[in-house]
């Protein structure tokens, strides 16, 4: 794969992307319409020969076969011996899905119905605030989706507490009335230290205010026994199977806070959107397959061009948490240095993903994107219309800014153009010097995903699109996208350091830096 990409990099050289538009069919030929959304990747170096090569790489890696294995319930998460079936959670009107010869769909639909009962009950009661306590996949998905869908909220307010930093829960509880607050303890394992610590603090808060904990806790977990032991009654425990990865779990019980916020019908629309993307991903030929193309363009930028990071720039303020959500989805899934067979990865792992909503980012870090020495491929997301009909002029400005950025990144501004802009102020060498500061190199690639409006169905499509993109990238890089062993070591060391930082144990055996930091903490914080 790397050789093929290297050959194309040599062929393309320093070609200007805008010259590709000399072919008037460029935009149409290098964009894709699926599920009512348009993915435009024409402002990249991908041309017909490169696209053919990238598709060839996907074919050779067995993307289609692996995709069918995933949807078919095969245990493609080989290091944990698990199937990968978050898609079953949104298989609302699909056929059976077998794991070890057993159809999982009756269980999925039953759990969905139970979620709906719990959500309706909470929405109809006198709960004013719902606090989801969870971290990682048990936080980012629902937190991102609840924020994204705020125009659809007609349920109680939802808050998210994730950090073990007591500031998080303290700041949240200050906003809540103990008599009218419900806590959701969201944890696949029901052992995560941050979540269990916050859950105990929430329980103590209710007791401190003389409020019974009866009916105030819901548990979302694969470890239903631990949830029961913690004292949460069975009808308030919503379980899910080990074939739902934490960062892929917003579609099932972990999405309860989303369902409480927007209601069961809108939540079903969210699932339907994801299911539509699943259907597209399964059926479309690779060259017309949106998740495949999104992955391949990313592969070109990271493995082909060596661009180590990718900016996700939603021109949709309600997607403010999308970059954080994608950081977990993409970096925890494909940030691995070992191939499926245990050998060292022959290429770079997935890229660093980062970003902020536009237009805010423009006034912060776009300077580096436009003029920095490193090229950062950008992924823009924007809706054709917003939810505020009275503020259409805002939306038009937003879209104009989004399109302006991708155009500016591609075209740049030459030295001559820069000179012309300041020729009335400077002359000679000073003119040259001043002009050079105003040059934009351009030729910086970007893609744009444009969709009608950020409604529940569209959000479902967007998230599923990114999930499948991660899958395709993982297959091509020969990575197991569904484990996360890399998070273990820090957790183990934190557990061991607990008594050390509290002063109960000494720093013997610790390195000098750690010992010094512990000593500072004990001197200044006890």
**Whole-number minimum distance, CB 192 to ligand G6P, in Å?**
3
> For the window 165-204, what string marks contact with ligand G6P as x by the rule CB under 6 A?
----------------------xxx--x--x---------
Of 90 and 247, the one with the shorter C-beta distance to ligand G6P is 247
- Residue 132 within binding range of ligand G6P, rule CB under 6 A: no
- CB-facing half-sphere around the CA of 224: CA atoms within 13 A: 12
As a whole number of angstroms, the distance between CA 18 and CA 165 comes to 49
The reply to whether 370 belongs to the active site is: no
**Whole-number minimum distance, CB 81 to ligand G6P, in Å?**
17
> For the window 86-125, what string marks contact with ligand G6P as x by the rule CB under 6 A?
----------------------------------------
- Residue 514 within binding range of ligand G6P, rule CB under 6 A: no
The reply to whether 363 belongs to the active site is: yes
Listed in sequence order, the DSSP H helices in 381-526 are 392-411, 415-422, 428-437, 456-477, 488-501, 512-525
Residues 6 or more apart in contact with residue 262 via CB below 8 angstroms: 149, 152, 153, 154, 155, 270, 456
Of 200 and 433, the one with the shorter C-beta distance to ligand G6P is 200
- Residue 247 within binding range of ligand G6P, rule CB under 6 A: yes
**Count of residues binding ligand G6P (CB under 6 A)?**
14
Could you say which of 239, 246, 264, 298 contacts ligand G6P (CB under 6 A)? 246
**Whole-number minimum distance, CB 136 to ligand G6P, in Å?**
3
As a whole number of angstroms, the distance between CA 379 and CA 355 comes to 9
- Report the alpha-carbon angle 270-468-195, nearest 5: 65
* Residue 44, Ramachandran bin (φ over 0: left; ψ between -120 and 50: alpha; else beta): beta
Q: Catalytic residue, from 332, 356, 457, 467: name it.
A: 332
Q: Sheet harboring 129-133: ordered strands across? A: 157-161, 129-133, 181-186, 217-221, 237-239
Give the C-alpha distances (Å, rounded to integers) separating 472 from 29, 61, 62, 290, 292: 22, 9, 10, 11, 6
Could you say which of 205, 274, 484, 518 contacts ligand G6P (CB under 6 A)? 484
- Residue 136 within binding range of ligand G6P, rule CB under 6 A: yes
Could you say which of 308, 487, 493, 496 contacts ligand G6P (CB under 6 A)? 487
- Residue 332 within binding range of ligand G6P, rule CB under 6 A: yes
**Whole-number minimum distance, CB 516 to ligand G6P, in Å?**
27
Query: Per DSSP, which regions of 176-328 are E strands?
Result: 181-186, 217-221, 237-239, 309-315
- Residue 474 within binding range of ligand G6P, rule CB under 6 A: no
As a whole number of angstroms, the distance between CA 17 and CA 443 comes to 6
- Report the alpha-carbon angle 276-278-283, nearest 5: 95
The reply to whether 330 belongs to the active site is: no
Of 102 and 191, the one with the shorter C-beta distance to ligand G6P is 191
Q: Catalytic residue, from 363, 425, 437, 524: name it.
A: 363
CA gyration radius, the chain: 25
Catalytic residues: 332, 363, 491
What are the residues binding ligand G6P (CB under 6 A)?
A: 135-138, 187-189, 192, 195, 246-247, 332, 484, 487
């Amino acid at each position: 794969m790397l050789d093929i990409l290297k050959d194309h990099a040599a062929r393309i050289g320093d070609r200007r992307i805008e010259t590709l538009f000399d072919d008037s069919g460029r935009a149409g030929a290098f964009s894709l319409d699926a599920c009512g959304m348009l993915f435009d990747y024409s402002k990249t170096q991908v041309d017909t020969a490169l696209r053919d090569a990238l598709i060839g790489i996907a074919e050779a890696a067995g993307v289609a076969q692996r995709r069918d294995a995933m949807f078919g319930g095969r245990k493609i998460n080989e290091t944990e011996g698990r199937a990968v079936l978050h898609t079953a959670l949104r298989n609302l009107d699909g056929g059976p899905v077998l794991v070890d010869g057993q159809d999982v769909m009756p269980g999925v639909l039953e759990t969905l119905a139970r979620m709906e009962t719990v959500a309706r009950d909470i929405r109809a009661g006198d709960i004013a605030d719902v606090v989801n306590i969870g971290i990682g996949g048990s936080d980012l998905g629902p937190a991102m989706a609840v924020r994204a869908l705020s125009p659809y909220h007609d349920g109680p307010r939802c808050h998210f507490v994730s950090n073990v930093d007591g500031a998080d829960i303290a700041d949240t509880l200050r906003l809540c009335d103990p008599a009218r607050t419900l806590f959701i303890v969201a944890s696949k394992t029901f052992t995560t230290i941050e979540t269990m610590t916050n859950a105990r603090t929430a329980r103590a808060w209710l007791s401190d205010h003389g409020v019974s904990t009866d009916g105030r806790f819901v548990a979302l977990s694969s470890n239903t026994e631990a949830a029961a032991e913690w004292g949460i009654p069975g009808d308030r425990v919503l379980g899910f199977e080990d074939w739902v990865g934490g960062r892929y779990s917003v579609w099932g019980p972990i999405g309860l806070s989303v369902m409480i916020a927007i209601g069961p019908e809108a939540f079903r629309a969210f699932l339907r959107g994801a299911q539509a993307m699943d259907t597209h991903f399964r059926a479309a030929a690779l060259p017309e397959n949106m998740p495949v193309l999104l992955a391949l363009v990313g592969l070109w930028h990271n493995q082909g061009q060596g661009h180590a990071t990718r900016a996700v720039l939603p021109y949709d303020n309600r997607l403010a948490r999308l970059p954080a959500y994608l950081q977990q989805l993409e970096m925890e899934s494909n940030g691995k240095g070992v191939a499926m067979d245990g050998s060292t990865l022959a290429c770079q792992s997935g890229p660093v993903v980062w970003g902020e909503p536009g237009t805010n980012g423009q006034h912060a870090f776009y300077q580096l994107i436009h003029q920095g020495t490193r090229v950062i491929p950008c992924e823009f997301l924007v809706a054709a219309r917003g939810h505020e009909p009275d503020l259409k002029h805002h939306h038009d400005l937003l879209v104009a800014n989004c399109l302006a950025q991708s155009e500016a990144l591609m075209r740049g501004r030459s030295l001559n153009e820069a000179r012309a802009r300041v020729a009335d102020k400077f002359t000679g060498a000073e003119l040259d010097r001043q002009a050079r500061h105003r040059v934009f190199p351009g030729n910086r690639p970007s893609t744009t995903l444009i969709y009608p409006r950020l409604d529940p169905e569209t959000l479902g499509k967007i998230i599923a699109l990114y999930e499948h993109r991660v899958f395709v990238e993982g297959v091509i890089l020969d990575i197991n996208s569904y484990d996360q062993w890399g998070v273990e070591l820090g957790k183990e060391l934190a557990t061991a350091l607990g008594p050390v930082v509290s002063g109960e144990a000494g720093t013997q055996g610790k390195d000098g830096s750690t010992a010094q930091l512990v000593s500072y903490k004990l001197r200044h914080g006890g």
